[in-house]
Structure 1
């Protein structure tokens, strides 16, 4: 079974690359200003970007309970949050999947997953999928780094993958998100502002397709 798992990931990756995004085609680009949102966290409370007054930005990550790629990145997201939240860039995870199309991504299952994995970051449900479409996310995981401007706006600084090896964290050679965050913290330009997100396609509700 362990030998078949890398093959399964490869097949899922090929499928994801060949499958076009039917809904989220006109989302944010690097340099755009992201609109704040209000979504329900697994703790039952509503959350907006403006809530954390000391945040310099956010690592907004569209992820879910059910995608093998998303599961492989959970521990890395936890580590990213633990490293950069104290520096002003917390992770905010958003589950974009339609519950009818993916029952394993229900709010109750999100609460269970967050508890089992001891997520230190917010895990929000985009029930209407409007925030997902606004961002232009197409995969789980799909990562957006936002930087707070002097005007209090949220500028998109990076879009794409967390790193360059979904299957094996020990074989990662490029840490895209960390590189971008380190550049922001050093007030330097980000060398690579966009990479291709690799993961499962988002499960859109039938009316959105």
Structure 2
């Protein structure tokens, strides 16, 4: 019985370690106030894009999005509008597609090129082929916004979540423009009133690691 008790305790401790490890993995990703690392990803023009290549930028809208997702399509014009409005003020959009194209061929690199050309994107549309950047950021959906601000500490995460609360694009008059409001507060040297919201969209299509 003593041996059985020891074995039970050993198995319980092993299970606890596994659960704790999985929970830790689920909690990975940036939080507001964290410093975001730079990255190097391929753009639709086949050139590598690095955030350090934007020395005049005051920050960035890093937005995880894709081609196929209905939510991403509904927010596409609003992403374009963000870049048009705020890139001249020092906060350009950097769009990243993290999806596995085997799961959704519409999200392939060639189709990214076509989409960018068709819609005349004014911002980079990058391929996160390894999905490492999406995992580092903790992105969960498309679209998912991370507003970064250049500070003395580095690229500080100032806002995470949705572009606004009008997912279906049907209530412009009552829309809460989270991303706009966050960057406008920052430009006035203020902290955004809302720093985190839930990103509503399609789940990221992760590659099968098995």
Normalising by the residue count of structure 2, what TM-score does the alignment of the two structures yield? 0.85
Shift of 1:102: 1.4
Larger radius of gyration: 2
RMSD: 1.3
CA distance in 2, matches of 1:169, 1:97: 27
Alignment of 1:153-168 (within 5 A): 153-168=154-169
SS at match of 1:206: coil
Q: How many residues align?
A: 185
Q: What is aligned with 2:190?
A: 188
CA distance in 2, matches of 1:49, 1:126: 14
Q: What is aligned with 1:109?
A: 111
Q: What is aligned with 1:9?
A: none
Alignment of 1:193-208 (within 5 A): 193-207=195-209
Alpha-carbon displacement from aligned partner over 1:123-149 (angstroms, at most 9, x marks no partner): 000000000000000000000000011
SS at match of 1:94: strand
Q: What is aligned with 2:62?
A: 60
Is the contact made by 1:69 and 1:200 (CA closer than 8 Å) also made in structure 2?
Answer: yes
SS at match of 2:147: strand
Is the contact made by 1:24 and 1:138 (CA closer than 8 Å) also made in structure 2?
Answer: no
Shift of 1:169: 5.2
SS at match of 2:196: coil
Q: Is 1:139 paired with 2:136?
A: no
Q: What is aligned with 1:122?
A: 124
Structure 2 residue runs without a partner (length 5+): 1-24
Q: Is 1:88 paired with 2:74?
A: no
CA distance in 1, matches of 2:195, 2:30: 13
Structure 1 residue runs without a partner (length 5+): 1-22
Q: What is aligned with 1:11?
A: none
